[in-house]
Amino acid sequence: MPEAELAQFIRPSGYFNAKARKLKAFVALLNERFAGDLDGMLATPAGELRPALLATHGIGPETADSILLYAAAQPIFVIDAYTRRTFLRLGLVPEAGSYEAWQQLFMRALPADAPLFNEYHALIVRHGKDVCQTQPLCRECPLAAVCPVGIAAG
């Protein structure tokens, strides 16, 4: 399907032209490297699949790791803005601020278990959306007693 036609199908999603290019790049990876076999691609070990995903236009570390965790059920911890914001406020921060340093903070502290990583990340996202927002709702936060931001908010 031509990119312009694909863009019209996904128009309601916003940024449809950029997303169409990224979808085409992903499908090209799937077809060229994995002969169109999505199950085969998802069964590829993370050490091989992650670099292939990262070399694909429009796929960065968070997206690659989301594919590995949520679609391929591989034990890779996803780092996103909710994770950074919540754990920065808790004072649990890696020495280096890179994506990889954040990811290692979790992967060293938790057993390598895809369902655990999936649930843990989903709970962080929910907490970030519902409570630890840009303007935190500390009075509603179950972590307020151990969070420097929550403690300061009283």
Tens digit of each residue's pLDDT (9 = 90 or more) over 109-130: 999 999 999 999 999 999 999 9
Using a pLDDT cut of 70, give the percent of the chain over it: 100
The C-alpha R_g of the chain, in whole angstroms, comes to: 18
The reported pTM is 0.91
Note whether 64 and 99 are same-domain residues.
no
Which of 140, 99, 127 minimizes the C-alpha distance to 119? 127
Distance of CA 93 to the CA centre of its chain: 18
Is the pLDDT score of 99 beyond 90? Answer: yes
What confidence score (pLDDT) does residue 154 get? 84
Q: Is residue 76 part of a domain?
A: no
At 13 the pLDDT is 87
In 3-state terms, what secondary structure has residue 121?
helix
Checking 144-152 for CB contacts under 8 A at 24+ apart, the result is 146/90, 147/89, 147/90, 147/91, 148/89, 148/90, 148/91, 149/89, 150/89
Q: What pLDDT, on the 0 to 100 scale, is given for residue 116?
A: 98
The pLDDT value given to residue 114: 98
The pLDDT tens digits for 60-96 are 999 999 999 999 999 999 999 999 999 999 999 999 9
CATH number at residue 144: 1.10.1670.10
Tokens representing 91 are: 């004072």
Mean pLDDT, residues 25-43 taken together? 98
Q: What is the mean pLDDT of residues 6-18?
A: 91
The pLDDT of residue 24: 96
46: left (phi over 0), alpha (psi -120 to 50) or beta: alpha
pLDDT at 82: 98
Instruction: Specify the number of domains making up the chain.
Output: 2
Last residue of a domain, one of 71, 101, 118: 71
Predicted pLDDT of residue 53: 98
Q: Which pair of tokens denotes residue 3?
A: 């990119």
State the residue range of the domain holding 139: 81-153
Work out the number of other CB atoms within 10 angstroms of the CB of residue 64.
Answer: 21
Q: Is there a domain that residue 64 lies in?
A: yes
Look-up of token digits 């403690």: 151
Mean pLDDT across the chain: 96
The structure tokens listed for 137 are 């709702």
- List, in order, residues 6 or more apart from 139 with CB less than 8 Å away: 153
CA 6 to chain centre: 25
Last residue of a domain, one of 17, 38, 71: 71
What pLDDT, on a 0 to 100 scale, did the predictor assign at position 124?
Answer: 98
Residues 148 and 90 in one domain: yes
